[in-house]
Amino acid sequence: MNFSGMSLRAKLTALFMSVTLLGLALAFLLLTVADMRAMRAALEREVSLSARLAAEYCVAPLAFGYTEETAEALAKLAVLEGLGYAAVYDRDGKLFACHACDGAEVPGEAASGPGEDGPFARLVSAREPMIYNGEVYGTLRLAVSTGKLYRSMLARLALLAAIGAALAVLTFFLAVRAQRVVSGPLLRLAALARGVGRSGDYSVRTGIERADEIGTLAAGMDSMLENLETRGRERDAAEEALRAAHAGLERAVAERTAELKAANEELEAFTYSASHDLRAPLRRIDGFASILEEDHAAALPDEARKAVARVRAGCRQMAEVIDSLLKLSRLMRHSITRAPLDLSAMAEEAAADLREAEPERRVAFAAAPGLSARGDRTLVGEVLGNLISNAWKFTRRAERPAVEFGSAEKDDETAFFVRDNGAGFDMEYAGNLFRPFQRLHAAADFPGTGIGLVTCRRIIERHGGRIWAEGEPGRGAVFYFTLPDGNRREHGGKKEGNSKRERGA
């Protein structure tokens, strides 16, 4: 039976009935046990007394060795209701004479006998020494069946059961009457609550006025309905105002979105056009500087030749910056196509390209196998290429340069990392790493444009992830990034602590 699904009326009735019947059952059980013990004790006393009398009556025939007379004396004990057996044993404990009823088994020795002990034994037995003139001639054993006892108990139980049934019926009617006093108002409250839930009409009231807890509950419900009715009116007014404001906001957002889209398109066009148009004058400057350096070097003083060389170096650096800006603009216009990516294989490809470009360098590279994620292959490949290329570059002065690609648990999410043992950086300036044209090392020591990490940050953010770095001067750096649906191989990633400082994300 599902008690939780029963009505309150049924629950209260069942509760009253259960408590009452449980109390009756415990009382009847205690009475039955007490009666059982008392009746058994009375039977044991009766058997003991009968055994004592029989021992005094049979001691003389035993003393003179009259077996038949002893048996006849024992047969007279058949007047005892439920007699099992009566037996006389000599000094050696051997059976001398006996009388058995209903095929009862008579023990062959005075000290033996099956099933005659315990509160539930079939027979109640007693032993009495047979003494004459102060001398013990033997032992008498008397056993009486407990059938009479159990018949009396069954009659008692039948009476108690009849009384219990009558009390149960009376209890049921009393429980039904009593629960109405409690459940009636509560059922009215429940019906009112269901009606309000279906109709949403908060103007109804309970109509219950009582001084007890149910009256307090009804008053609270009336107060709640009143508050809900007031708030409902306020909500309707607020919703109407919100709909009007929402309509105006949608128009404003649509207009602003169109303006931002046009501004972004103009900005991208300007960036591309400006970067593209800078190439022509830059090429002319570099061309004229190369003429001076190659055709008129002999006519120029040393300072002039050095100045021309610096001009040409600046032109090359400017060309790299323009290329980086154009590449960044092109990548930002690139639409994202998400697909499963084998990051371990992509990292190995990036490292192989660097080895091919700089065959003279010996950099130990290791990529954890089985690392995967979902993302745009072109854009994520650009991130891996930039990060591994940076690590490759900044290990140039390391005694044993090493670069590692792997994954770790960071703040309950999988983060991929590129670690090196190169120059590192001061964490105080880590916030500048992902800003355009911001560099933490001199261009003469480690050349670059300051655009690569900006590109990485924008690509990762477009994928819905984040990127940050940790480092220490002279001890290398590690760059972390996350991607949606990034999966670390089951046993391949390193478990790192959660302590980190997020920079530039």
Quick one: three-class SS letters along 317-380? HHHHHHHHHHHHHHHHHCCCCCEEEEHHHHHHHHHHHHHHHCCCCCCEEEECCCCEEEECHHHH
Give the CATH superfamily of 3-169.
Answer: PAS domain (3.30.450.20)
Spell out the residues 6+ positions from residue 12 whose beta carbon is closer than 8 angstroms to its own. 175, 178, 179, 182, 183
Q: What is the pLDDT of residues 260-296, one digit of tens each?
A: 777 666 656 666 666 666 666 767 776 767 777 777 7
Return the percentage of the chain with pLDDT > 70, whole number.
Answer: 76
Q: Helix 343-357 to helix 377-394 angle, to the nearest 10 degrees? A: 50
The pLDDT of residue 502 is 34
Of all helices (H) and strands (E), which one includes residue 261? helix 213-295
Give bridge partners of residue 406 from the DSSP assignment.
Answer: 417
pLDDT of residue 115: 43
State residue 241's pLDDT score: 87
DSSP collapsed to 3 states, 145-208: ECHHHHHHHHHHHHHHHHHHHHHHHHHHHHHHHHHHHHHHHHHHHHHHHHHHHHHCCCCCCCCC
Strand 402-410 and strand 364-367: the pairing is parallel
CA-wise closest residue to 504 among 476, 469, 473 = 469
Q: How far apart, in whole angstroms, are the C-alpha atoms of residue 416 and residue 346?
A: 13
| DSSP character string of 91-125 | TTSBEEEEEESTTPPPPSBTT--SS--STT-SEEE
Q: Per-block average pLDDT, block size 10, for the chain (505 residues)?
A: 62 74 83 83 86 87 87 83 85 87 75 52 81 88 82 81 84 72 69 76 74 76 80 84 87 81 65 65 73 74 77 68 64 74 93 89 91 90 90 85 91 89 78 61 49 84 89 87 69 40 32
Exposed (0-12), middle (13-18) or buried (19+): which is 36, by Cβ within 10 Å? Answer: middle
User: What's the pLDDT at 490?
Assistant: 42
**What pLDDT is attached to residue 65?**
86
Tens of pLDDT along 455-499? 888 889 888 898 898 888 888 889 999 987 656 554 344 444 333
pLDDT at 82: 79
SS3 64: helix
Structural domain boundaries in the chain: 3-169, 203-333, 336-481
CATH number of 336-481: 3.30.565.10
What's the confidence (pLDDT) of residue 442? 44
